[in-house]
A and B are shown apart, each in its own frame.
Chain A
Amino acid sequence: MTYYFMKQFIIKVIAFSVLVLSVISCVKDTDFDQFDQTLLTPVVDLNLIFWEVQAPSFNNAGGSLPIGTVRDTTEIRFLDDPDTQESVVRADFLYEFENTSDSDYDLVIDFVSLSGQVTYTLQTTIEAGTLNTPWQQTILDEIIAPEVNDITQAGLIAISATAQGTPPDQGSLKMTSKVRFYLEISGQ
């Protein structure tokens, strides 16, 4: 009889424990839905394009461009990527120029869609320098929404430089560049 009661007692204790556990053990004071509105906001710096054109290139009559003008184009495929288009809210382009030739230049940077349409343009003038005292110029182009969409629709960058007056015969024109993307990536 005692054994029977003991067994009943143990069963009850265990059953009660499981019951209490299942009732009291819980996850509370948390809200996982809040992450639906959470944004990752990384700021990413990337090298972009660099080049140096020697003065004789502006005098090259062999190409299809007029004397005094150089032009080149490259794909920038990551720009028109759907993820980039969705998440870039601001793009700061930093261009650094160094001119050691004795000519001023009209410089145009076109962002072009893959269908050939210019979506955004930056124009500037680079002043003349000398071999011993290069002209240095920095341009910071801050592009925020909604204009930044013009950038992220582009898949190509085309750069042209045109010497004002007589093309130079010595020195070079040089550009380095980087872009700082401000991203907003949704938690959803």
Chain B
Amino acid sequence: MRYVTLFLVSCLLFLEPVFGQNKQLIYGLDEVPQNLMLNPGGISEGRAFVGVPVLSGIHVNGGSSGFSLFDLAASDGQLPAERISGLIRDLSDKDFITMTQQLEIISVGWRKNEKTFYTAGIYQEFDFITYFPKDWATLAWYGNADYLDYPFKFDHISARADLLSVFHFGINKKIDRKWTVGGRLKLYNSILAGSSLNNRGSFTTRLSDGDSQNIYAQDLNNANVSVQTSGLSRFEGNVTSSDILSAGLFGGDLGLGIDVGATYQYDDAWRFSASILDIGAVVHAADVKTYQASGGYMLEGIELDFPALSQGQNAPPYYAIFENEIEAAVPIDTLYSAYTQWRPVKMNLAASYGFGPTAPGSVACNCSGKGDAYKLESEVGLQFYAIKRPKAIQTALSLFYVRRLLRNLTLKSTWTMDALSWTNLGLVAVSDLGPINVYLAADHLLTYSNLAKARGASIQFGINVKLERR
């Protein structure tokens, strides 16, 4: 048995040059206390847990929907200019680059009674997404000479970055043997935020058709471009660690949000669950700067008047007049008014089917059929994940398989299809070494032999101290 186990572990762990993870790997995995962060209505185990400070939840995730580092910088003899041209041609303004990092600073959970479990903690999060500004990359790479009549659109510029700390308190309540529900209140403390969203307008060069007095009509049409920032001045000058600490502890802009979730245990085999996370917003009120340019202008060039000048008289300041006209037509303002930004709301859905014998270490039989559903050795299922991003809702579909190999070792593997990749294999290993709960998860395993070819990569790690029920 020991050799069979070793073989299976080896096969799963080293299926491909190993390791990868995604939050879909933790979702619904009761053995990891952090699964309650993904579904406050998930199944809580044990009497209590305490995350090892700053080590209980480390999550890093990055990716690009349209290209990999290899696509960009392969050492295959092809001229880099050809490769960049190809990427600009193939990518669309819906392609994106994203980076997310989370660090649990404090994470605790404790059971009030058989039916109620509380969680609380603080975590820090950095989230960044930028869409590929196709039109402006095209303009920078090729220029406008071969793009007459083509409108270079400002809505291709779309990016957002948030650095915040989150204070949270959640309740997980078992209603009956089938239903478990939960909710979490979150207090957001935005440390730094920047975004350029909902831009509009365009710039077009076309041959004049009477609408311009010069050869071209170069039309900046109905432009409205803005960059919103908050918290930037906190990082100007000499920034000390106490400045960062105070910004992280209620020193930033505040916001409120909630997570809700539920699990329905249909029978011992079938389980369904759902959660919606980060329904909330941050009010950016202090240290806010919004840079905004709006208006329209027909760029005709400089018109000369040929005035009759006396000796010593200078020609009119045409260039200054030209600049002033542009500044008047498309003023660039700096605004200091507060603004509200919704958090990127996320949704998880899952259905799973358990089979096989009972999991190692669990009760052998739920013989009366009235107690809690008992844990089975294997589980397969489907998970759906969605997150609202500036231009669209991004989704992922995961097929997963959970295997409880030993009393203290659980593995979950996933095959995820999302905007980054259709061949994303992930694996998480969870182990209880006495009261110490350790998990390590990663995804995009197939590309670990050469991360340059990965469209994305993510890793998640945590250590908790779990107290079992008496």
Q: A residues engaging B (CB < 8 A)?
A: 6-7, 9-11, 13-14, 17-18, 20-21, 24-32, 34-35, 37-51, 53, 57, 60, 62-65, 70-77, 94, 96, 159, 176-178, 180-181, 183
Contact = CB atoms under 8 A, between A and B. Distances in A.
Given A26-B451, A28-B452, A35-B73, A13 B300 contact: no
Nearest to A10: B431
Contacts of B205: 45
Contacts of B142: 42-43
Contacts of A25: 17-19, 448-449, 451
A80 to B, nearest CB: 12
Interface in B143-161: 143-146, 148
B286 interface: no
Contact of A75 (B144, B215, B318, B407): B318
B140 interface: yes
| Interface SS of A by simple majority | mixed
A30 B317 contact: no
Looking at B81, B214, B299, B319, the one whose CB has the most chain A CB atoms below 10 A away is B214
Contacts of A29: 70, 74-76, 450, 452-453
B431 A64 contact: no
B216 A45 contact: yes
Nearest to A42: B143
Given A10-B431, A46-B218, A51 B303 contact: yes
A159 B73 CA distance: 49
A73 B145 contact: no
A63 B309 contact: yes
A43 B143 contact: yes
Given A27-B450, A34-B80, A50-B213, A7 B433 contact: yes
Contacts of B409: 10
Contacts of B279: none
B408 interface: yes
28 contacts: A6-B407, A7-B408, A13-B9, A14-B438, A17-B440, A21-B18, A28-B452, A29-B74, A29-B453, A34-B75, A34-B80, A45-B143, A45-B144, A46-B301, A47-B300, A50-B301, A63-B309, A64-B310, A64-B312, A64-B313, A72-B306, A74-B319, A76-B319, A96-B215, A176-B214, A177-B301, A181-B143, A183-B143
Given A30-B74, A63-B308, A42 B215 contact: no
B73 A34 contact: yes
Interface string B288-318: 0000000000011111111111111101011
Nearest to A187: B80
B450 A176 contact: no
B18 A20 contact: yes
A24 B408 contact: no
Given A25-B19, A30-B452, A71 B306 contact: yes
Nearest to A70: B306
A21 B448 contact: yes
A94 B140 CA distance: 23
Interface in B41-100: 69-70, 73-76, 80-81, 84
Given A10-B409, A25-B19, A50-B301, A43 B212 contact: no
A51 B306 contact: yes
B301 A28 contact: no
A42 B139 contact: yes
B335 interface: no
Given A42-B141, A63-B309, A75-B318, A177 B406 contact: no
Nearest to A64: B311
A162 B12 CA distance: 87
A12 B331 CA distance: 64
A3 to B, nearest CB: 9
A62 B308 CA distance: 7
B448 A24 contact: yes
Contacts of A65: 308-309
A180 B145 CA distance: 8
Nearest to A161: B306
B13 interface: yes
A71 B308 CA distance: 9
A7 B438 CA distance: 12
B41 to A, nearest CB: 30
A47 B13 contact: no
B14 interface: yes
A24 B76 CA distance: 21
Contacts of B2: 9
A32 B311 CA distance: 60
A120 to B, nearest CB: 18
Name the residue in A35, A37, A50 with the highest tally of chain B Cβ atoms < 10 Å from its Cβ: A50
B456 to A, nearest CB: 14
A74 B315 contact: yes
B19 A17 contact: yes
B429 interface: yes
Nearest to A76: B319
Given A47-B215, A64-B311, A14 B306 contact: no
Nearest to B317: A75
A67 to B, nearest CB: 11
Given A21-B19, A29-B452, A60 B75 contact: no
B449 A176 contact: no
Interface string B102-144: 0000000000000000000000000000000000000111111
